[in-house]
Structure 1
Amino acid sequence: MNRSQEEARAAGLQLVQTPEGLALTDGTMQLIADYAHMIPRLKQGVLQRELLVRAARARGVEHPVAFDATAGFGEDSLLLAAAGYTVEMFECNSAISALLADALERAASDPRLSEAAAHMHLHVGDSIAGMAELVAAGTVPYAVYLDPMFPGRTKSASVKKKFQLLHHLEQPCADEAALLAAARATGARKIVIKRPVKGPLLADAKPSAQFKGKAVRYDVLAF
């Protein structure tokens, strides 16, 4: 049994191969990482209005690099990649990483997604150590993106039932100050932080700018 299967079973879940892709299941519900529903949001006129894209915009920079320290299923990374970033994604949970890798493989064969998917690179493991390793190897990001999971979000009524399966695997951010410090240490020119629209600041860091929607906001620390 590989590590991803072990992590899923430790949470009372299973990873199973289905005709649609790799699925996480509890025996009654299943969850597959898939980007097909994201395609309408990747059209240029729509994409440029995305709050994340506006918050992370790299003006006058060719081929910018972003680190997504909390990748999950990589949907936000997909938006950044479609907007011109090369995105280095970090996901510490092996089961979630397996689902993400499967989604990327299928996206690579879809002409509507393949260009963006080609600029998304998955790293399995702790993002604090992983970001430092990439910087040491010469990859310095223009932006670091943080979407940490917090305890208050796990009981949200807005979370679709099947996505609650992920809450058996994901753990709330244990040390938000350490995560933010690691992002700062990369030398990025921007740190973009996704928060509930009325949620507290991450580690009390005052943003340079905020981009607010109905349910979420993006706090931008610019350097």
Structure 2
Amino acid sequence: MKRNARIKETEFEKQQELIVYYEKKADQERAELLAAHLGVTVTSEEAERNKARFALAFTDHGLALTGDQLSLCGDFVHMLPRLRYDNLTHEILVKAGKLKNGKEHPTAVDATAGMGEDSLLLAAAGFEVDLYEYDPIIAALLKDTIERSKMDERLAEIVKRMHVHEENSVKAMLQRAKEGDIPDLIVLDPMFPGKKKNSLTNKKLQMIQQFERPCEDELGLLDAARALNPLKIVIKRPVKGPYLGEVKPAYSLQGKTIRYDCILRGNS
């Protein structure tokens, strides 16, 4: 079988194991639009929902990805303690992303947005953040999380600085480079395989990775970021992991399990 044919078949199989589900009539239109966007079935029947391995379900708490006895629903409320100024200034990512250009609201690109928690920290620190997420399922969860957060006065001012783009970040960064649309900061977090654990957090990560695999072209991701030539590129790595693309950073900030490698304009 040709490789392209195999890719198409895999995508078809993924569609067959995912369904969009809603209970309330008020959610029907959004559910139908999402299902059409994803190219999957939509239903309000629980029996139909149970036939699929995974469901994107419209619930009272927000859009949730359910399956394998797990449920993943974006929630920025649990991040509130970390967003307090006295805690935020101690976040390693915020320290790593700090710039000296004096802008009140510097610009950032999160090229590997995922569920948006890193971008939330940057937005809380004052950045205008463009979040790039190529997987439409993860992007749908992320967009829903941000829209719900806009209705929470504790988060509204922060998330209004977060702008989601459902597209390939490598292509987007290369296009921005051509247009001269240069951010001050780029953050890269190519998902690295974790050690096998039984924690709920790791099981949910495994569920996400059913749809979004770890970055297979790390060098391409870094090359696109370097082509855009921001003031700083911050790369999230395992604490003992190799440098991304074997590019030595200007400096690194290290936590217990992760490390942020910082590449400055001029040393990239």
TM-score by length of 1: 0.92
Correspondence 1:216 to 2:258 = yes
Larger mean CA deviation between 118-127 and 194-203 belongs to: 194-203
Correspondence 1:3 to 2:37 = yes
- 1:126 match: 168
Q: 1:214 Cα shift?
A: 0.6
Q: How does 1:13-24 map to 2 (within 5 A)?
A: 13-24=54-65
CA distance in 1, matches of 2:182, 2:107: 7
Which of 177, 181, 194 matches 2:219?
Answer: 177
CA RMSD across the alignment? 2.0
Report the AA paired with residue 231 of structure 2: R
Gaps in structure 2 of 5+ consecutive residues: 1-34, 42-48
Correspondence 1:105 to 2:147 = yes
- 1:189 match: 231
Which of 67, 78, 82 matches 1:26?
Answer: 67
Correspondence 1:49 to 2:83 = no
SS of the residue 1:61 aligns to: coil
CA distance in 2, matches of 1:94, 1:202: 26
Q: 1:156 Cα shift?
A: 5.3
Q: CA 1:31/1:54 → structure 2, altered by over 3 Å: closer, same or farther? A: same
SS of the residue 2:122 aligns to: helix
Correspondence 1:64 to 2:106 = yes
- CA deviation digits over 1:174-210, x for unaligned, max 9? 1111100000011201110001111111111101111
Q: CA 1:29/1:132 → structure 2, altered by over 3 Å: closer, same or farther? A: same
- CA deviation digits over 1:8-47, x for unaligned, max 9? x9x9422010100000011521100110110011111110
1:154/1:167 contact within 8 Å kept: no
Gaps in structure 1 of 5+ consecutive residues: none
2:134/2:168 contact within 8 Å kept: yes
- CA deviation digits over 1:24-76, x for unaligned, max 9? 01152110011011001111111011000000001233121110000000100
Which of 81, 84, 93 matches 1:40?
Answer: 81
Report the AA paired with residue 86 of structure 1: E
Q: CA 1:79/1:183 → structure 2, altered by over 3 Å: closer, same or farther? A: same
SS of the residue 1:153 aligns to: coil
Q: CA 1:197/1:65 → structure 2, altered by over 3 Å: closer, same or farther? A: same
Correspondence 1:91 to 2:125 = no
In percent, how many aligned pairs have the same letter?
Answer: 45
Which of 190, 214, 217 matches 1:148?
Answer: 190
Q: 1:162 Cα shift?
A: 2.8
2:53/2:68 contact within 8 Å kept: no
Which of 182, 201, 210 matches 2:243?
Answer: 201
CA distance in 1, matches of 2:181, 2:128: 11
Tell me: higher relative CO, structure 1 or 2? Use CA pairs within 8 A at least 6 residues apart: 1
Give the number of aligned pairs: 220
CA distance in 2, matches of 1:81, 1:35: 12
SS of the residue 1:81 aligns to: helix
CA distance in 2, matches of 1:154, 1:26: 22
